[in-house]
Amino acid sequence: MYSDQCGGQNRNIKMALICDFIATSTEFTVNEIDHKFLVSGHSYLPCDQDFGIVEKEKSFIKIYFYLSIGVLENSITNRKVSENDSKIEWMKMQWLRYTSENKHRFQFKYSNSEDVLFNFVNVSKHKAGNQVNALQLLFPNGRPIETKKKQDLIELLLYIPHIYHPFYEGPSTSATAVDELAEQADRENFDPIDDENTEA
């Protein structure tokens, strides 16, 4: 995988746990995930053309979301130091690697160079019974959204292929629904790492 340097979007414990789960779960056939972050202004890639192709292809792909990231977060300890006792600096990471042999123990380095050695961070709680082998839906019957948000979604149907309309028409509405993602984004805007379950 390749990502840009936009702060906090993909270099954080939540994204790391999703990749770790995919690489180590028996539900998938992925043995290794390499996640690299391109240095701003130094990739020399035909980005505009590539992004255009990606966006076009995305319209033909069903996208799935993990709604139970909290289960994964509660199964680990978000450490601030690596196995060699150096401080973990998420915003400086250039390469993350997840393998099927290392559950809750992923590799990282602050360079995209093949010559630089990986460092390790073990986020396991080191306790029996903390393994997550399957994720349960957080809201098995769906989750109500704000009425205004539902109206906005319906207006977007003009630009969305008909086959995907049920996804946008499906959510029920509630007068008490809260946009928790917006609130969470405001809280985490200054720090890509969630301090809950954090240990030095």
pLDDT > 70? residue 119: yes
Phi, psi angle pair for 15, to nearest 5°: -65, -40
The set of long-range contacts for 66-69, using a CB threshold of 8 Å and a minimum separation of 24, is: 66/18, 66/21, 66/135, 67/137, 67/138, 67/139, 68/135, 68/136, 68/137, 68/138, 69/14, 69/17, 69/18
CB of 96 within 8 A of CB of 16?
yes
pLDDT on residue 148 = 86
Total structural domains within the chain: 1
For 16-38, the pLDDT digits (tens) are 888 888 898 888 888 999 999 87
Count the helix, strand and coil residues of the chain and give each as a percent rounded to the nearest 5. 30, 15, 50
Pairing of strands 78-79, 198-199: parallel
Distance CA 178, CA 196 (A): 22
Q: What share of the chain has pLDDT > 90, as a percent?
A: 11
Q: Which of 9, 11, 7, 13 shows the shortest CA–CA distance to 78? A: 13
* Selected residue with higher pLDDT from 199 and 146: 146
Q: What does the pLDDT average to over 73-92?
A: 83
- Supply the mean pLDDT for the chain: 76
Sort 72 into a burial class: Cβ within 10 Å, 0-12 / 13-18 / 19+: buried
Cβ atoms of 73 and 123 closer than 8 Å: no
Is the pTM of the predicted complex or chain greater than 0.85?
no
pLDDT at 132: 56
Domain that includes residue 42, residue range: 2-199
β-bridge partners, 87: 81
Q: Using one digit for the tens of pLDDT, what is the confidence trace for 127-160?
A: 555 555 566 777 777 788 888 888 888 998 888 8
DSSP helix/strand/coil, 37: strand
> In this predicted structure, what is the pLDDT of residue 63?
46
The per-residue pLDDT for 34 is 92
